[in-house]
């Protein structure tokens, strides 16, 4: 074999390795979150001012007088609160080429994803029509099938029509976006519970690096339109009685459910730079694993959490000491918070200064959309060089110790220009 051939082969391998690790640019973003945070600027104002966006359950969702009981009882909810969007019934069906009859059968989570996807493309300055017949990918996540429950379990089966299935099956959420926009790339709905939207982003980044698509839309929506899931969580005793995620606090007694939607537009960095796109932030590495065997099916595994963080750092070719902020899962449960902090201490405990926080203290737990809500917070925080206040922290959980570490939990708006 000639030396020139060997050099060519080595160069090709280097190029392949570089492509497999190319940063992914976030070129567009949009959201609808509790507290009237219907765009990213409103979201930042909510976060920077330390707004608690939790409210009582609206009467159009379920009857609190009938269902609420602070004691755990069959068929009852132990909380009166949640993070709610103002209007989930309005939808411009004609704008998306959907008939009124079909729109009525659509899960409002599907409607919300369509609207916020369009807004994310507007934010990216990408005309939706320009994506027709391209291999643009769609990676979506949706919440509990509350609307399907109402639709199919109605006492009047005559309400079921030809649109009932496509309107309520979770698998259609991504396919409908592809259909409306005329996209030919991968389209899939991811359900890994609370991590769904971040796993969707992970898969989208991998697909972009493998050249499976030139652009990817990543979105998640969660709406609370029937009481049954909250009854279930009440039976599990995972809900906070006062309806607040008191993450890392000694009073932590569970989380509060929240609604919302977030969508990101992703491109390979080289493509974004070539197109002159505005780049909000970069995703340089991610990783996915599973808890495996733990103390229970839904119990966290600290060692698994450590492993996935270390793998993400390795995939990003970054050192733990380079991380100045961690947006925690932070559900505000007595068991989960200490386990998560111990995992973070194992990885980042020797850092000079790493801040910790969770958007759940502002808007609640958005379940499949929780990850993308946290990611939006981090993007806005990095752009402004400020860390928003972490709410509801009065006294650190007695099972958590940050002594001897550089980890802190800011409870006021904290300038961190080094993060920008």
pLDDT at 268: 99
Residue numbers in the chain where pLDDT is lower than 50: 13
Active site residue 151: no
Catalytic one of 81, 151, 202, 329:
329
pLDDT at 183: 99
Indicate the CATH number for domain 31-419: 3.40.47.10
Q: How far does the chain reach from its first CA to its final CA, in angstroms? A: 49
CA trace torsion 163, 166, 170, 176 (10° rounding): -120
Active site residue 194: yes
pTM of the model: 0.94
251 with 332: CB under 8 angstroms? no
pLDDT at 160: 83
Sign of CA dihedral 361, 365, 370, 373: negative
pLDDT at 17: 59
User: Directed axis angle between helix 172-181 and helix 108-123, to 10°?
Assistant: 50
pLDDT at 15: 59
Residues 6+ apart with CB under 8 A from 138: 174, 175, 177, 178, 183, 185, 186, 187, 188, 216, 217, 219
Q: What angle do CA 209, 368, 138 make, to 5 degrees?
A: 35
Active site residue 392: no
* Strand blocks (E) in 135-239: 137-142, 187-189, 215-222
pLDDT at 20: 75
Q: How far is CA 322 from the centre of its chain?
A: 23
Catalytic one of 81, 202, 280, 365:
365
Cα(7)–Cα(1) distance, integer angstroms: 11
pLDDT at 362: 99
């Amino acid at each position: 074999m000639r030396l020139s051939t060997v050099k060519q082969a080595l160069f090709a391998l280097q190029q392949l390795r570089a492509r497999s690790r190319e940063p992914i640019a976030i070129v567009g973003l949009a959201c609808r979150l509790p507290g009237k945070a219907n765009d990213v600027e409103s979201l930042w104002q909510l976060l920077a001012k330390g707004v608690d966006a939790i409210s009582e359950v609206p009467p159009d969702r379920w009857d609190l007088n009938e269902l609420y009981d602070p004691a755990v009882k069959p068929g009852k909810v132990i909380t009166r609160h949640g993070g709610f969007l103002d209007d989930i019934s309005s939808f411009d069906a004609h704008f998306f080429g959907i008939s009124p009859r079909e729109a009525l059968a659509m899960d409002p989570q599907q409607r919300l994803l369509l609207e916020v996807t369009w807004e994310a493309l507007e934010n990216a300055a990408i005309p939706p029509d320009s994506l027709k017949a391209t291999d643009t990918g769609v990676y979506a996540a949706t919440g509990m099938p509350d609307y399907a429950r109402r639709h199919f379990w109605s006492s009047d089966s005559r309400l079921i029509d030809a649109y009932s299935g496509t309107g309520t099956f979770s698998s259609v959420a991504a396919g409908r976006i592809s259909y409306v926009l005329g996209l030919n790339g991968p389209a899939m709905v991811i359900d890994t519970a609370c991590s769904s939207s971040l796993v969707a982003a992970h898969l989208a980044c991998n697909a972009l690096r493998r050249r499976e698509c030139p652009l990817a839309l990543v979105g998640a929506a969660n709406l609370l339109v029937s009481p049954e899931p909250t009854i279930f969580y009440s039976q599990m005793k995972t809900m906070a009685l006062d309806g607040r995620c008191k993450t890392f606090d000694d009073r932590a007694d569970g989380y509060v459910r929240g609604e919302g939607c977030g969508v990101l537009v992703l491109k390979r960095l080289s493509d974004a730079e070539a197109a002159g796109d505005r780049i909000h932030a970069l995703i340089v590495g991610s990783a996915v694993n599973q808890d495996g065997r733990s103390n229970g099916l839904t119990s966290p595994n600290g060692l698994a959490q450590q492993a996935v963080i270390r793998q993400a750092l390795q995939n990003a070719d970054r050192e733990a000491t380079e991380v100045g902020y961690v947006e925690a899962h932070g559900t505000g449960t007595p068991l989960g918070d200490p386990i998560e902090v111990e995992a973070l201490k194992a990885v980042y405990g020797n850092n000079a200064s790493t801040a910790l926080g969770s958007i759940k203290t502002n808007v609640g737990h958005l379940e499949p959309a929780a990850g993308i809500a946290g990611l939006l917070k981090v993007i806005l925080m990095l752009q402004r060089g400020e860390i928003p206040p972490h709410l509801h922290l009065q006294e650190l959980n007695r099972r958590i110790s940050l002594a001897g570490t550089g980890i802190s939990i800011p409870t006021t708006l904290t300038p961190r220009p080094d993060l920008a």
